[in-house]
Each structure stands twice: as C-alpha cells, then as structure tokens.
C-alpha cells in the first residue's frame, strides 16, 4: 500500500481533538462548547467516511484495518457517547475488508492450482521424459495439490477435481494435434516441390531424393509423385493429339471429361464449365479443319489444361486428407497400445460378484462363506478384466482395419470360431441351463432369478417352457 494510504488512516483515526482532550478543556474559554462539539463530530464522521471509502475501493488492507481498529477502540473508550456510531462504521468496514480478503485468498489459491495444472501439462507434453518420470513428477504435483486444499478448506476447489487426469488427456490431444500439424506441413512442402516439376526426368530425381530424407513420409511422396507423373503424361498426350489433329480439341475435352467419374458434384461442375467453354470457342472460331483465331485456340487449350489441373488438385487434396486420417489412426493405435485395456472398476467388480453369487450359489455375496467369497471375487475380477480386454481388442482391430483400407492393403478375414458366450445374461435360458448343469434345483434357480429382479411370468417361462 502506498505511503499515502497509511498516512490517511492515521489522520482518519487521530482527529485533531484527540490530540489532547485535557488541552481542549483548558481552552474552554477560547470558543463556545457547542462549536467544539460540532467540530469533533464532523472530524469523526469524516474519518469514518474516509475509511469506508478506502475499504470499498479496495485500498484498505487488512493490516491497515487493524491499525485503524486499534486507534478507534481507544477513541471509543475515551468517548463512550460516540462508541455506537464508531462501532457501526467499523463493522461495515470490517465486513468489506473481510470479504475482500476472502476473495483475494480464493484468487491466490486458484492461481496456485492453475499453476500446478500448467506445470503438469508441460510435464506430460515433454516428449523427452519417460512415462515413469512423468508419473513421479505428477505424484509430487498431486502432493502439492493436497497441501493447498488442506491449507484452504474454506475455498471451493471442486472445479479442480480430476485435474491431473484431464491434463493427461489434454496433453495427448495437444501432442497429437502437433504431430498432425507437422505432418501436414511436411506434406504441403513435399506437394509443392513435386507439383512444381513439369518433366518426368526431374520428377524421378526429386522423388528419389525426397525418399532419402530422414523420417520421409514415403507413402505421401509416392502418391503425390504418381499424381504428377500421370498429369505430365496426360499433358504430353493432349499436346500430341492436338498437334496431330490440327488442334481439334474434341479428343482432349473427352479425355478430361472421362476422368470425372465418381468425383464430387462441385468438382465436376467446375471442370465441366471450363470444358464447355473450350468447346464453345472451337465451335465459334474453328471451321474447315483450322482455327480462325489463334488467341481463341490457345485460350481453349488453356481451359482444358486448367480443367485437368482442377482434377489433379482435387486428387492432391484427397491424398493430404487421407494422410492426415492415417496419421490420426496411427496415433490412436499407439495410444491404445500404450494405455492397454486398463483395470476393472471396483464398483463393476462388486456388481458382478453379486450376480455370480446368486447365479452359482443362489445367495447374496455377503451370505457366502470365506472360501466361496474368494472364489467369486476372483471370478468377478477376471470377468470384468476380460470385458475390458475385449473392448480394447475390438478398438484396436477396428482402427487397424480402417488403416488397412486407407492404405489399400488386403484384409485377411479370420475364420469365425463358434464359441460359447463368455458372459451370460443372468436372466436368460442360457443362464438357467448353466445353473442346472452345475446341479442347482429349479427351486434354487427360481430364488436366484427372484433376487435378480425377474418377475414370476419370466421365471415360469424360463423354467418350464
């Protein structure tokens, strides 16, 4: 706080008349008593009003408030008749200062928590750190988070619950996006280099050099090079045919138009407009096997070339999109492999324990003996883990299949093996048959089904149909 603020507090809490009440008594003859009383009252109100204004503006710190409180407490002791007015004003000031202090504390604490989150994100995004090092650092940051929470029990920090779990997800997404952006930039650079070459010999040389570069994306380079190679060959063929046919554009228009099969409507329409304009120019300026306007002939040829370039440009864009999708799938597969199937949730295991206990023994889990409980616990944990394994395996398989399709790789279909379902619906004919195989009577099975929530009609159908 500026020196001015403290000086103001001292002035507000030490009005002129408090500098010596005895001195004022000795000077009673120098001024009327009523006038002195009015001056004292005005001085007091001015000081209190100043404190209230400083509090409302946020200039009055808790330390300054304590200083003022001490001075006014002494003043109330010396002037009991004004104590209520002083006490009321100080109460208002104290409430404002207290709320401001609480707000500042909340801001400071949440700033500390955000700083922890920023630090955790930086750690998770650091590709130089091992998974073990990241986990150790996060553990330390969690300890600091707990310390802050324990030191500030009155600050609402619910918005920071699960903060570090969110950070792991965010870091992965940011790193993934960064990788995709780098790949896009490399693809654009390679694309620009390849499509700037207009002859086959230089294209071959450039392609070979690009493939030699460290971490070169061979898949994208080869696809871009193939598009440009076909573009150069198509251009050479159009020029040859045009020269042989006295620059009759009919064949060139047809060869470009034939490439439009299965293209999006907006691309087809854009290409078709240029081809139609070339045909219209030929109809207008060509007769008797020759052109009457050389500029019109050149313009028509350029329109056909531009139409072919529009097709090539679309194909280049599709390669870029495809490569980005491939990169995304590769990243997802890498994440799935790194994370593994995970571990079962305790609540899920408990729910499965109860179901298995009723299915196998016709009793609630808590009613089982120790040996039976241990058996059911192992079975429930194994069943829940197998569920996670299946989900994880399915996710990996789906993404690998997508990747194979994009790369044009042959997908080998595994022979379907008919197996008995691992997880039975507890209220089903299969579950009833399985219980009978384990030696349970219909009465036991009926009680088990009732505990699982099956109604009488369902139980009758399952047991006697």
pLDDT of 31 above 60: no
Please write down the long-range contacts of 40-46, taking CB distance under 8 Å and 24 or more positions apart.
40/15, 41/82, 43/15, 43/16, 43/17, 44/15, 44/75, 44/82, 44/85, 44/86, 46/12, 46/15
Nearest CA among 353, 396, 403, 408 for reference residue 375: 353
> Where is pLDDT greater, at 277 or 25?
277
**In this predicted model, which residue has the larger pLDDT, 339 or 213?**
213
pLDDT at 93: 66
pLDDT at 258 over 70: yes
Instruction: Say if residues 113 and 156 touch (Cβ distance below 8 Å).
Output: no
- CA distance linking residue 106 with residue 118, whole number of Å: 18
Provide φ and ψ at 301, rounded to 5°: -65, -40
Ramachandran sector of residue 377 (left: φ over 0; alpha: ψ -120 to 50; beta: rest): alpha
| Spatial distance between the Cα atoms of 69 and 61, rounded to a whole number of angstroms | 12
Helix (H) or strand (E) holding 39: helix 33-57
Cβ 308 vs Cβ 254: under 8 Å: no
Domain boundaries, the chain: 3-104, 108-153+160-178, 181-331, 346-407+422-464
In this predicted structure, what is the pLDDT of residue 418?
39
Can you list the positions of beta strands (E) in 175-249? none
Q: What is the pLDDT of residues 72-98, one digit of tens each?
A: 666 666 666 666 666 667 667 666 666
pLDDT digits (tens, 9 = 90+) for 333-348: 988 887 788 889 889 9
User: What pLDDT is stored for residue 327 in this prediction?
Assistant: 87
Instruction: Specify the residue for token string 């039976």.
Output: 372
What Cα–Cα distance (Å) separates residue 460 from each residue in 360, 445, 448, 455?
Answer: 19, 11, 13, 9
**CA distance linking residue 349 with residue 382, whole number of Å:** 9
Crossing angle for the helix pair 294-339 and 250-257, to the nearest 10 degrees: 20
Rounded to the nearest 10 degrees, the angle between the axes of helix 346-361 and helix 442-451 is: 150
* pLDDT, tens digit, 9 for 90 and up, residues 382-410: 999 999 999 999 999 999 999 999 888 87
Q: Identify the bridge partners of residue 286 per DSSP, sorted by sequence position.
A: 291
Q: Which two tokens stand for residue 73?
A: 């407490």
Q: Is 290 helix (H, G, I), strand (E, B) or coil?
A: strand
Q: Is the pLDDT of residue 22 over 50?
A: no
More reliable by pLDDT, 176 or 427: 176
> Taking the model in full, what pTM does it have?
0.60
Q: What is the pLDDT of residue 94?
A: 63
CB atoms within 10 A of CB 319: 19
Contact assessment for residue 384 and residue 349, using Cβ atoms and an 8 Å cutoff: yes
- Residue 211 and residue 221 in contact, taking contact as beta carbons nearer than 8 Å: yes
314 vs 127 pLDDT, higher one: 314
Q: What average pLDDT does this structure show over 155-181?
A: 88
Taking alpha carbons only, the member of 4, 38, 1, 34 closest to residue 16 is 38
pLDDT at 421: 42
108, two tokens: 């400071």
Mean per-residue pLDDT for 372-384? Answer: 91
At residue 87, the pLDDT reads 67
| 184-213: average pLDDT | 93
Min mean pLDDT across 2-6, 242-246, 320-324, 437-441 is at: 2-6
Q: What is the separation, in whole angstroms, between the first and last Cα of the chain?
A: 87
For the stretch 113-154, pLDDT in tens is 999 999 999 999 998 888 889 889 999 999 999 999 999 988
Nearest to 43 by CA among 88, 85, 1: 85
The neighbour count for residue 203, using CB atoms within 10 Å, is 19
Mean pLDDT, rounded, of the chain: 81
pLDDT band for 374, please (50, 70, 90 cuts).
very high
CB atoms within 10 A of CB 23: 9
**Does residue 403 or residue 432 have the better pLDDT?**
403
> Using CA atoms, how far apart are residues 162 and 274, in angstroms rounded to an integer?
58
Q: What is the mean pLDDT of residues 235-247?
A: 91
Query: What are the residues whose beta carbons fall under 8 Å from the beta carbon of 44, sequence distance 6 or more?
Result: 15, 75, 82, 85, 86
Integer Rg of the chain from CA: 42
pLDDT value at residue 131 = 80
**pLDDT at position 420:** 41
Which residue in 240, 270, 245, 272 sits closest to 258, CA to CA?
272
Q: How high is the pLDDT of residue 19? A: 42
Q: How far apart are CA 425 and CA 171, in angstroms?
A: 39
Mean pLDDT of 421-440: 68
| pLDDT tens per residue, range 277-305 | 999 999 999 998 899 999 999 999 999 99
């Amino acid at each position: 706080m500026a020196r001015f603020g403290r000086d103001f507090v001292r002035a507000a809490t030490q009005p002129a008349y408090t500098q010596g009440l005895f001195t004022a008594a000795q000077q009673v003859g120098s001024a009327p008593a009523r006038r002195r009383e009015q001056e004292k009252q005005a001085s007091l109100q001015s000081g209190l009003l100043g404190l209230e204004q400083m509090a409302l503006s946020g200039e009055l710190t808790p330390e300054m408030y304590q200083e003022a409180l001490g001075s006014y407490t002494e003043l109330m002791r010396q002037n009991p008749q004004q104590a209520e007015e002083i006490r009321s004003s100080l109460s208002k000031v104290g409430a404002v200062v207290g709320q401001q202090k609480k707000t500042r504390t909340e801001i400071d604490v949440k700033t500390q928590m955000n700083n922890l989150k920023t630090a955790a994100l930086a750690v998770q995004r650091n590709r130089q750190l091992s998974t073990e090092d990241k986990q150790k650092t996060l553990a330390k940051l969690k300890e600091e988070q707990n310390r802050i929470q324990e030191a500030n029990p009155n600050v609402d920090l619910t918005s920071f619950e699960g903060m570090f779990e969110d950070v792991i997800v965010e870091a992965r997404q940011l790193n993934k996006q960064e990788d995709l952006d780098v790949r896009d930039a490399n693809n654009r650079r390679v694309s620009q280099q390849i499509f700037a070459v207009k002859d086959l010999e230089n294209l071959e040389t450039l392609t070979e050099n690009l493939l030699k570069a460290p971490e070169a994306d061979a898949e994208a380079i080869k696809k871009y090079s193939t598009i440009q190679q076909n573009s150069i060959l198509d251009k050479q063929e159009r020029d040859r045919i045009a020269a042989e046919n006295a620059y009759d554009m009919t064949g060139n228009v047809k060869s470009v138009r034939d490439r439009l099969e299965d293209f999006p409507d907006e691309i087809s329409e854009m290409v078709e407009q240029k081809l139609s304009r070339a045909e219209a120019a030929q109809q207008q300026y060509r007769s008797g096997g020759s052109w009457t306007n050389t500029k019109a002939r050149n313009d028509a040829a350029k329109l056909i070339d531009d139409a072919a370039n529009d097709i090539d440009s679309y194909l280049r864009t599709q390669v870029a999109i495809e490569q980005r999708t491939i990169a995304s799938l590769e990243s997802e597969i890498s994440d799935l492999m790194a994370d593994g199937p995970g571990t079962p949730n305790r609540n899920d295991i408990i729910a499965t324990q109860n179901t298995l206990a009723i299915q196998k023994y016709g009793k609630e889990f808590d009613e089982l003996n120790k040996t039976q409980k241990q058996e059911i616990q192992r079975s429930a944990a194994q069943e829940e883990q197998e569920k996670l394994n299946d989900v994880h395996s399915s996710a990996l398989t789906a993404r690998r299949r997508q990747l194979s399709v994009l790369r044009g790789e042959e997908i080998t279909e595994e022979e379907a093996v008919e197996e008995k379902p691992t997880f039975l619906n507890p209220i089903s004919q299969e579950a009833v048959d399985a219980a009978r195989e384990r030696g349970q009577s219909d009465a036991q099975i009926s009680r088990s089904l009732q505990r699982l929530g099956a109604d009488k009609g369902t139980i009758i159908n399952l047991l006697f149909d």
